[in-house]
Structure 1
């Protein structure tokens, strides 16, 4: 299929085809809240030192492909590279590439168009699910392609049995949390904010996160001026689209713990959690996660999803209720430009040396060096 290609410089421009974009997004199976315009426009408003270019692929008046790409410069082992990524990195937890089924045959041509408009050494796409067939043409046209697992996301299918009390250790933990919250008269609130009330809510959540360990370590979604601008813009946009949900624990009118989620097609993405250190003993995390599930029962949601977890040492509380998992991948395409060749060759070599290095480290841990004998 031959598509008509068009480049746009902003999702905020008056001539950006919002209606056509929404039709495409709704037609792509697996599209997530991070594909919504509200989120992406928030990400665009916080760009710093990067260039946004949006590739649109049309058949007559129908939009069949949309790839918003950010171009920047990075250094790998002292080698300066031109790098492309999907708009939303690194705070987008899962993405679908917005490519209609009819446009899958045009992916190689799309890559040629990207290379013409945005010459690059590395094109890297994070947190994709089941994108192998779609990206095969890009792999064949690249010097080196790397596909790596970034996380195994636990998910819980919401079923009528969830109305019953949990069993085992989870029941004990929930009962203890409920008892401790009752002792201080803390209450759980469900909030589905609209555009008018979201700013005040986000300020409350930001205050909690900044006072938590995430804020102290600079790892929160509200850490730093750029992320604050991004989150306020993106979450305001998602609230306007009816996608934002919050469960929070309130004590004497003060928010002391919260979970923030994004709702898409009956799937609640558990995006962020924070709590005040002085209330850590309450066990509010499990209590609020249980509230997600009970809210889902009342509203007809199908899944609660951890959104993103650490690959090696995830401690997400949804593991206690896990009924499935989502495998998310990172794809790296190294071009045949000179620096792409060097970077790709270096990555190829590192991937082959890494297992041997890991095995050597494991042997060292199992058999620590003995002191020299006198």
Structure 2
């Protein structure tokens, strides 16, 4: 049995090897929308110019059995240290990432060979930092297994919680919550004519819809704090290109609430098989006191099956401000961030500072510890059907 690590490099690497990469994703069950070759290629064109872009795959008897889309460049480990960092391509726009492989065994074997290649052949990297890896996934389990076998340190923290909703079941909301939704809609209707919609975006409407959404986001709290997905020209151009790629296959779904013809609340996301992957929502300030986020989610719950969705997936969710999808009391998928340090002296020094010295300082100063990623052997998730990249 012949196995080898193959490293493809360059800004066009995801387009050049799209056919074989997408074939691997299909055999792996398409674990993440953000592994798609067209998404990664679009991202690379906009954001990878000053970084080393790589598609690192493991080949067995001529077939790819696993791989990682990676970039190498300046990046932060923790809040303090900016170093030469290896991370998933697509940063910071992805919500979930994994190492695609058809089986858990292939995932672990691929990861083991890739880590050996990093330690032996890849130059000038200080740390491998991977974000939004589902807890209990083959990927995270493989990291833990290899860490135990090979004796290297693996550091993990809980990064986010992603609630999910099965639209066939409708979710379980309280009578109080449903009453609040009715009252909020009544208050909104008192202000003028209310129009609601949930639809797949057409190619000819992309620019006007992005312009409208961008205007709403700019006056929302996301715009005020500079954290919106349309916050500057570079971000808007990237999202415009993403929409242009996905709209012809009905890959962008958008929910809107308009008041007297003007957009006041929107929520859009990606289609991944039968899942709606929540990605971006914003509302104008005057709707903050009427549960705008809950109103538009309720619209999506009511209309989602008509658009061919069976699941609404928060994709990821804040630890401090739980995603409103959690109000429907479905399962919650945990995501973790993990760090593996390189072989050099700088890497060992950084590891000592972050994981030996800082915990002592936190304890002495009675500072909160990072959130712990609990041990899980399987993903807490909903089954997904017809997932096609």
Fold conserved (TM > 0.5)?
yes
Superposed displacement of residue 124, structure 1: 0.8
CA 1:360 to 1:93, structure 2 compared with 1: closer, same or farther past 3 Å? Answer: closer
- TM-score (norm. length: structure 1): 0.85
Pick the aligned partner of 1:334 from 324, 341, 364. 341
Pick which of 102-111 and 5-14 moved more. 5-14
In 2: Cα distance, 1:284 partner to 1:78 partner: 36
In 2: Cα distance, 1:314 partner to 1:111 partner: 35
Superposed displacement of residue 240, structure 1: 3.8
CA contact under 8 A between 1:144 and 1:348: conserved in structure 2? no
Pick which of 38-47 and 296-305 moved more. 296-305
Task: Find the counterpart in structure 1 of residue 298 from structure 2.
Answer: 290
Task: Find the counterpart in structure 1 of residue 280 from structure 2.
Answer: 272
Task: Find the counterpart in structure 1 of residue 359 from structure 2.
Answer: 352
In 1: Cα distance, 2:241 partner to 2:168 partner: 34
In 2: Cα distance, 1:89 partner to 1:244 partner: 20
Superposed displacement of residue 232, structure 1: 2.3
CA contact under 8 A between 2:194 and 2:259: conserved in structure 1? yes
CA 1:142 to 1:314, structure 2 compared with 1: closer, same or farther past 3 Å? Answer: farther
Question: 3-state SS of the aligned residue for 1:98?
Answer: coil
Task: Find the counterpart in structure 1 of residue 27 from structure 2.
Answer: 27
Task: Find the counterpart in structure 2 of residue 123 from structure 1.
Answer: 128
Alignment: residue pair count = 359
The unaligned stretches of length 5 or more in structure 1 are 363-374
CA contact under 8 A between 1:153 and 1:327: conserved in structure 2? yes
In 1: Cα distance, 2:249 partner to 2:11 partner: 16
Superposed displacement of residue 105, structure 1: 1.7
The unaligned stretches of length 5 or more in structure 2 are 370-389
In 2: Cα distance, 1:216 partner to 1:45 partner: 28
CA contact under 8 A between 1:142 and 1:334: conserved in structure 2? no
CA 1:360 to 1:113, structure 2 compared with 1: closer, same or farther past 3 Å? Answer: closer
CA contact under 8 A between 1:39 and 1:238: conserved in structure 2? no
Superposed displacement of residue 287, structure 1: 1.4
CA contact under 8 A between 1:144 and 1:335: conserved in structure 2? no
- TM-score (norm. length: structure 2): 0.82
Task: Find the counterpart in structure 1 of residue 261 from structure 2.
Answer: 253
In 1: Cα distance, 2:159 partner to 2:81 partner: 24
In 1: Cα distance, 2:368 partner to 2:331 partner: 32
Superposed displacement of residue 126, structure 1: 0.4
Task: Find the counterpart in structure 2 of residue 64 from structure 1.
Answer: 65
RMSD: 2.8
CA 1:193 to 1:361, structure 2 compared with 1: closer, same or farther past 3 Å? Answer: closer
CA 1:318 to 1:75, structure 2 compared with 1: closer, same or farther past 3 Å? Answer: closer
CA 1:117 to 1:234, structure 2 compared with 1: closer, same or farther past 3 Å? Answer: farther
Pick which of 121-130 and 174-183 moved more. 174-183
CA 1:343 to 1:132, structure 2 compared with 1: closer, same or farther past 3 Å? Answer: same
Please list the CA deviations of residues 271-310 of structure 1 after superposition, one character each: whole Å capped at 9, or x if unmatched: 1110111333343211110122122233453322222222
CA 1:73 to 1:14, structure 2 compared with 1: closer, same or farther past 3 Å? Answer: closer
Task: Find the counterpart in structure 2 of residue 104 from structure 1.
Answer: 108
Superposed displacement of residue 185, structure 1: 0.9
Task: Find the counterpart in structure 2 of residue 113 from structure 1.
Answer: 117
